[in-house]
Structure 1
Amino acid sequence: MAEHRGKVRSYFVNRLFKKVIFPESDIVGLDLRFEKQRLWLQRAAIAGAVGIILFSTYAWWNSYDNNKTHVDKMDNYVETYCIERNESCIGKTRKLEKADFKGILPALDNLQKAAQIYPTLLRENEDSVPVSMRLGLYQGYQLSPSAHEAYYRVLNKVFLRHIAVYLYNQIAEQLKAGVTDDSEGFLYQNLKVYLMLREEYVKKLDPELLQVWMSDEWEKDFDIHSNDQERLQAHLKALLQSDIIPVKQTELEDRALVDNSRKILLSKERSLQLYWQVKEEAEGVKLSPFSVSSELGEPVTRVFASQRGGDILALEIPGLFTYEGYCGFFKNEVKRVVKDSLEENWVLGLKEQGLMNKTQSKKLTRDIQELYFDEYIKRWKELVYLFEIIRLSDIDTTVRMLDTASIPNSPMRRLLQKVGQNTMLLCESEAEKIANASALDSTLKMGQAVGIATAGSILNRKRRLEAARNKGKKEKDPALMVAEVFEPLFKLVHHDPENETYRKEEFYPILEKLGEVRELLNKPQAEMSWTKRNDAIGDLEGIADQMALHQPVKDWIDYIIDRSKSLINHVVDDRETAAAREKEREEAEAAAKAAIKKAEDEEKDRQKKIADMNKQWQDKVLAEYNKLQEFYPLSEDGKDMPLPSFAKFFGPGGTLDQFFDEHLATYINKAIWRFSDNPLGLSRNLLKSFREAEAIQDGFFPSGSQASVSFYLSAEDLVGTEVEQFSLLLGEQKFEYAFGPTRESKLEWPANGTKIQFMTSSGARVALQQYGEWAWFRILDDEVMPTGNKLVFTTGDAIMECKMRVDSIVNPFYLVHSKVLSSFDLPQRLN
């Protein structure tokens, strides 16, 4: 490149110095401190500007983020709601048949949370909007109204319809199960709450009643937990704070259900329905019951027990049936209930003015009062009649009972006072309460006995009771019917605390005499006498009769009198008859000794007698029997027993008969073979032996002391090849049969030898043959056992059947065959 040879121009440099550097030369300082300050100020300004920019950016971003978070939350809640209640979101509708509070609760919760994201604010009150959500990004004004509107719309269109369906189904189930006296009030209230939700009765809506009713129903539903109950109650509260969209009749088609419910309720006694309603409301108020434990205390157990068993301290009466329950609740509540009932005729489909007159109102009130007072009387009667005096089993128990029963603060007296306090139902005014309180203070200062603390109040009521009785019949207080029933009891313990002490009570003489009986029973037994017994117990009995006590007081006193008499009589009788009893004891001991000696002597005589009898039994009877045991028929394999020996032992007047007549006839009844008396302890085996011996005697000795048996044979059938005739030889006697007419032949035993044979064309065939006097028995025993009265003889194919008949009562042949003779045995000893 060629070198530039031209003239150098200084235009740019010249203008830099003249226009920039030189004009601004004044701002350049030589003071270093000042220059540093200026530099730091410049830096601070820059930093501040940057900070403002960053803060503004952060504030805007924070507002954006907060608003976006709220919008996202609402979007999530709405989306979740749409999932839970898809049909509601897409606009589909269907008829609801069953309430599902637990099912719709998540959807309601989500929509409620969406509505609570932004507070309900007016545009004029922008200061209430958090700063962190401003800067022109706040969305609450647009979203909050829509969320609240959607929430309340769902509360009306969904939640309220579920409540209506729930109440509808409850009424339907109750009608299906049947309406009882106990459930009438429930049906009425259920119908009332249901109708409040209807379009034509929405002006009658009682938000508090609806909340209480549904809260109670949710508490009774085991599927709905306590946390769910609180959430449902919150939704219901929100619903009632909005403009309710009532349920139209066409939505549930409930005309028949409502008409049936009204028809049933109108068929029932109105007063009974309202009375049950009053009782239900009393349970909600939780009136203090009359408790025996708190009102009478532990001392009552020392005097009384419960007739039905159990702890008497556990007995109680509901608070509605006490003086406070009547005056503090029922008296005013019944008027309110009647008034409300007459104003609620719309529930029953009646015109509101239909019963709104004083006459009908008074009649309805009086009917309810009568139901109440009837139950009032019943409950107090049941309680009082359950009290009975504890079991007085001995003097110590009776004394301990009278220790408590006879004092001024006796449980008897206190019970009667409590009966009076709670059955004289004449309510005091506030002025009377103040006056009675003053009288009470003065009475307590006087140091009167326990029990008169309420005397002023009771006396005042007693005076007003007398005044009320003097009024005209039309003005008579219905509460008097209770007082009239129990007056015979509570009048026993009433007195005027201003002028008298409790000693002037009608019941005081009873307590005084109970104390005297207690003193008598508490004395040593030696000091008790008939006179003292008659004085104390007789006086108590006389006073009780004179006062004509009513039940159950009469039963209490009569039982104490009877038991005291019995216990003292026992003590006195024991003491006065001690000598006689001692003499009787000595005589008894002497008689016992004599009886023992007599028994010992008798035992010695018995032992001697049985020993002598055993010796004679063994020497005379057993010795002879042992000799005969080896002979037939006592021994199946033995030789034939000589008939004289057989007759001497078994025959009439023989050895056994003689011994029985001489030694055993006194102790044995031969008719039934039982011991008529057995002081010697004779063996029961002896009865068996002599019973068998009698059977042997009846069979072998039918007509005398010699053994003989008459029997008859007749042929029945003869079969066999070539058999022509049957022959039986019994000693010299002969029985034959040869296929001809049958005839009965008489044979007699004893006979020496027996032979049985069948005749054929070829000669005689001997079937059986035995020798000796017992031959016939041996044949029957060995071969031809008699079956009933039938004998069968056989040899080869030859068979002869005969029928046998015996004259004697006992068949001797059967005795031999059945082993009665061969098994006959005598005991070694008689005892």
Structure 2
Amino acid sequence: MSIKEIGRVFTQRWFLGLVGVAACSIFIWVVGPLITVAGYEPLKSDFQRLVTILVIVFAWALINLTKQHKQKVREDESIQTLLEVDSQSDKEAASEIDVMRDRIEQAIKVVTKTHKGKRSLYDLPWYVLIGPPGTGKTTVLKQSGLEFPLTESLGADSIAGVGGTRHCDWWFANKAVLIDTAGRYTTQDSQEKVDSKAWHGFLGLLKKYRTQRPINGAIVTVSLASVMSQTRTERSLHARSIKSRLQELKNQLGMQFPIYVLLTKMDLVAGFNEFFADLSKEEREELFGFMFPREVDDERGVISLFNKEFHGMLERLDARMLRILETEDDLEKRTLIFEFPKQLRVLQANLDEFLSEIFAQNTFEEPALIRGVFLLSSVQEGIPVDRLMSESTNGLGLGRLPLATNVNSSHSYFVKNLFERVIFKEQLLGTVNRHYQKQSGWMRTGIYVGCAGVLVGASALWFLSYQWNSKLIVDTNSQVNHIEAMIGAESLDFESDVISAVDTLDKIMMLPLGKNSKYGHSDAVKKFGLYQGDKVSQAANNAYSDALSQHFATLLSESLVSEMEANKQHREYLYETLKTYLMLFNPEKYQQEEVIAWFNFYFERQYPGELNKELRERLLVHTKNLLENDEKGFSMDATAISAAREVLTQMSLPERAYQRMKMQFAKSHVPSFRLTDVLGPKGLEQFERASGKPLSQGISGFYTYNGFHSIFQIQINRTVKGLMEENWVYGDDLKAHEIDHDSAIQGVQARYYQDYVNEWKTLIEDIQLKQAPSLALATEQSRVLSGVERPIESLLRAIQKEVGLSKVTLSENQKAATEVAGKVAKVKFSNTADKLDMYLPEENGFNVALPGKEVESHFTEILRLSEQDFDDIQQAMVNLRSYLSDLSSSGNNQKIAYKSILDGTVTQDVAASFARAKDLLPKPFNQWLGELSQESVKFAESGSKDHLNQLWVTNVVRPYQRTIAGRYPFEPNATKEVRLKDFQRFFGYGGTLDSFFQEYLEPFVDTSKSRWRLEKEIGVRPETLAVFQRAKRIRQSFFESDNSLRVEFGMKPVYLDQHITRFVLELGDQDLVYKHGPARSKELRWPSGQDQTRIVFTPPESKREIAHTYEGEWGIFKLLDQSLKARPESRNDNIVMIDLKGNKVQLELIPSSAINPFWSNEMERFRCPQTL
């Protein structure tokens, strides 16, 4: 707050009144006791003066509140005056006001119902759109890109009519409420009196229904077409009407608000459509205009910056114009694009004059808060106006040349982001209603004054109370000092002299202070807020309590600790001592009788005999008093507690119960589970354990089906109950009320189930099939697995029995209960279990709904196996045995292996049955089948690979080495070249490579991708497929579909040295001749039928030709290779550069097909591997 504003506060009427009330209150408080009326002193007592002051303060506050209410009534009357009609001629205005009142009430209902609560009226900003008719206010809103979520509920985008705005339309967007006013309210040129009255009525409604901040801003729309076509006088009248409406908004609503000027119908400026035709949707949504600063050092205000900002915008348009002209070919459009910035430049002066008349500052009016000017086009319709051409033709007397009419377009330009990015972000920029602010100030002042009055009254009461309590403190202070002196003079060291310390405690305990205090009662004023009697009266008792908690409590706690340390070997006494010690710090478990009984026993041991009887009684009295205190002062020795608990136990209740059961029943009648008891002798030979443990080492009987039902289920309740009472003493983390029987049982069960699952999972995951390194051993293994022993099925059935703990049918419950009870009777318990039975009652009964689902949930895949599933598994083993037997018994097993892969034997028989079995089995059993399947495939692949490699070497490698390897063009520098017949025989359709691929590999290769891949493993490396893929590209480049070797191409001269008169390329009986004339393409073919390719250069007036011959059937390719070495760019542009002894010519190579051998390195990279 500035100094000027602070000074203005001091001159306010309410402040001067407050000063007067304060002065009057001080006068009454100071001079009041001296006033006497007929011997009566009305203001003698403090209470009377305080009441009088409070009456004056509240009366002053009531007067101010009354004035405020009257002012509000007058303001409401002034608003009502705006809404009322005063003559018969105002009926039309009254009708319009009624319509607007209905609409604003409907709008307020929509807002409050949608946003919940009265305050929501100000949650969304409100904006008023003003402007002459036809300036596009409604169209701007429709094209703004704002979301109007109430369209469905209202049946339209706004509470309004359709077409031109008749009165006012309320548009409800997600982020604002926009009020579209009728254009005639701005101009008021048709029915001036009616429009003016309706306009002022609209302002009154805004002020009435949205008092605090009627609007958040105003949006003024101005048509550029009007600015272009109006005369100076018409523009001036236009500007004055807008300025009047803005001033009326500020004056009637009593606030300042931001104003945004929208120059609409920009599409009517000649060249607009052509200039912005290339804009994308996102570019059309950008802003086209400029913002003003809030303040500027210029007497005209911020509007003085218009020309500068507009000029900057025109410069950006000029830069864009140059870019557009580079791509536009149409002369008429180029003209319109070129002149479009000039059209706007012509408008600049009119716009500056127009806006300056509205927003220029003067000394008689508060300046308008104009924030920015934006140009836009909501729709494109009408005939554009060419100001430049109009001025030129008018000057020549030719009249105006018509332009093409705009085609109606739904595109909007520079509209969409205007509201959300600019206008809505400044919704709090305006001020609030000054009248509302003033009323709020009066209300706050009244609240402050009322609080001040209450504070003054309370302060007076507190002062009186303070005086009385100060005297009380002085009177009792001496007695407190006496108590402190006694504590300091008499030692309270119980270790050195117990008797003296007890005598001191007795004296402090007998002090009467507090019980016989004369300050026991007082009136309300003395007790008002500062009464200290209760605290002071307890001083002696507090001293006694302090002596107990600070000194005597140490004796008691140290006694307990020393007893625990000295009696660790006596578990029973240690337990009782620890229990007593813990009770001192555990209110929930605290039993005062047991604590006092322990200390009584301790005092009798420490101070025995009749001589110390009185001492023991006095110690016991002080002990009882200490235990009754709120602050006992015991200090916990965590080390001693930990040591004692460590002696007793270090386990939680469920863990102790579980561990106790494990120890007691580790050796019972229930036998362990061993693989040697499940598998037959042949089956055992096929399995091993990954950990190296022997198969005879199994799982304890405690974690078997019989152990679960005959031991764990029977003994769990008995064991837990025996430990329940010891839980909190042993220091478990659970709170005492949370440790009940059910939770303890659940904890033991969870621990048991966890170990049960871990034991079986560890064993199952540790079992694995032995690897068969050879086909013979694999065949033998398959015979055992598919034989009568059925080892996999036997193992799975045994595991099913042991982990299916709840697998007892209802019809067999009674029988099962009898069997379990019989087994329990035979259990030989340890000595600890026998002792437990001595202290706990026997429990009978059998739970019919056998538990164990927690274990079964981990083995659901094993338990769900049915008889059909076992048959499917066995069938897979039989199929494997049959296949491996056939493979191993055949003399030519390599060919058999290849044929089995080729005709799908493995896939159809073994693989299918194994896939079914693998889907049925969980890990690791499905992995066993996977390993068996992989082994069978591995043996088949190995045989197939050997078979294919033999064929490959015989049919492919040897012909390759004999006719292709080391020869041109496969070896660029080779002196020998591949004969065309050999080339055709090896690479042609149905040739050596193609025949081998189709016969042996094609069924297993996916050639649909750019890179071939094997669909089935046959022992062929993936990189080998690249050889066949490269051979296919060579075949496609050189051979026709009828397997004829034919390459067609064209040659076209591009350049020939000036000193050469003639160049000839001879390819067999074909030749290309060039003599510096027009370049023509010459169609050629290869092979040419002759074994050479010749080039000839003929100098001018010379009979000697310069020639070179490329020998061999591949001569033309040798020529191209030589050109490529000299000019690597030929691979990209197909330009063949020939340089023979300094004579140069350039030819353009024109392949007849995209698939051609030119410039390709496929043959150079081609190598035939020794093995597949």
> What TM-score bracket applies, with the shorter chain setting the length?
0.3 to 0.5
Point out the structure with the larger helix share. 1
Higher Rg: 1
TM-score, structure 1 as length reference: 0.37
